[in-house]
Amino acid sequence: MNELVFFINNVIVAGSVTGSIYAIGAIGVTLVFSIMRFAHFAHADMMTFGAFMVLLLTLAFPGVGSVVGLPTPVVMLPLAIVLTSLLAVGIDKAFYKPLRAHGVKPIVMVIGSLGVTLMLQGLIRLFAGTSAQNLYLGGERKEIYRLELPFELATRPVIVTEPQVILFVLTIACVVGLHLFLSRTRLGKAMRAMSDNPDLARASGINTNHIVAVTWVIAGGLAATAGTLLSLDVTFKPDLSFFLLLPIFAAAIVGGVGHPYGAIAGGFVVGFAETLAVFNWSVLLRPIAHHFPEWLELPRNLAFVGTEYKIVVPFFILVAILVWRPTGIFKGKVI
């Protein structure tokens, strides 16, 4: 039974954590793509920026969290969301809008966003330094929940940490909120309309500049949420989210780029694929090892790929799914 607990801890919990982060990140990437039709590479660094804002706010107001019974960084998250949204709108005004006004090709926007990525990363490094920093400051501790399984043989608990629980709750909230927004509100429908046919949207009286701004606000907010929750789960580093950029894009494409529900599905597919690929299967096989023929010796580590090659997994999944369904799991292009 302990082997099963090991599996739950290392695959179910870890996969859900990675999947949630990828999903929230991929929703932002996919929304920006569906409205502005370019791959926004600076999204990962907007995530880092959000986490950095939380770090600064937590340093400025330590101990606020104890008043409401949540970790201070989580209490600071709404403010960081607002700041990151403002940053996203500001970046658009300063860099992307002039490019759009010139009617440049999407590839120029993509290269522009790479520039923004490097700039943001540099700025964060300048102020935060390059070392890892814990978001739990001033004596606050990461709560760890140990859930004992009601089986006699399971002596080890399932372990979930407080930031992971918050991550799951916020992921569900983001997904439900986004669904209601896109399907119920006029603004959400206007976004769908613009992603479908921008010319017609304008001719139908939809202010497309307004929609672009709203898209950046949502993308910025989601980025701040994902970045903060990731930093809470591990630690804050200036290049933390940059390394998530590729899996997040893989998730967005796997799900069908431009499709938010696809991004969610893609996020979890990639997240679980990663954890399953690096999982040591020999742990699960060990209890039944005595049934194996003698010549078959169970190796100590039986994973599909070593942890250091984890980054190839999203791309393997990406290629495999695109061969099977060239437009992604959900047919992408339009929200």
Residues in the site for another protein, rule: CB under 8 A?
Answer: 185-187, 189-190, 192-193, 196-197, 199-208, 210, 214, 334-335
3-state secondary structure of 113: helix
Q: How far is the CB of 217 from another protein (least distance, A)?
A: 10
What is the nearest approach in angstroms of another protein to the Cβ of residue 48?
A: 27
Name the residue nearer to another protein (CB basis): 244 or 335: 335
Q: 328: phi > 0 → left, psi -120 to 50 → alpha, else beta; which?
A: left
Count of CB atoms situated within 10 Å of the CB of 150: 6
Q: Across-strand partners of 4? A: none
Cβ proximity of 330 and 263 under 8 Å: no
Q: How far is the CB of 204 from another protein (least distance, A)?
A: 5
Q: Report the amino acid identity of residue 61.
A: F
Q: Using alpha carbons, select from 318, 331, 191, 327 the residue that is nearest to residue 261.
A: 331
- Contact yes or no for 45/241 (Cβ under 8 A): yes
Q: Return the number of the residue (81 or 335) whose C-beta is nearest another protein.
A: 335
What whole-number distance in Å separates Cα of residue 29 and Cα of residue 176?
A: 18
Quick one: 177 or 306, whose CB is closer to another protein? 177
To another protein, the closest distance from the beta carbon of 53 in angstroms equals: 22
Indicate the residue among 57 and 222 with the shorter CB distance to another protein: 222
For residue 183, with 0-12 CB atoms within 10 Å meaning exposed, 13-18 middle and 19 or more buried, which class applies?
A: exposed
Minimum CB separation of residue 188 from another protein in Å reads 9
Q: Which is nearer to another protein, 37 or 210 (CB)?
A: 210
Q: Which residue lies nearer to another protein by CB, 99 or 206?
A: 206
Q: H/E/C letters for each residue in 67-88? A: HHCCCHHHHHHHHHHHHHHHHH
Min CB(143)–another protein separation in Å: 33
Nearer to another protein, 19 or 256 (CB): 256
Contact 259, 332 (CB under 8 A): yes
Cβ at position 193, least distance to another protein in Å:
5
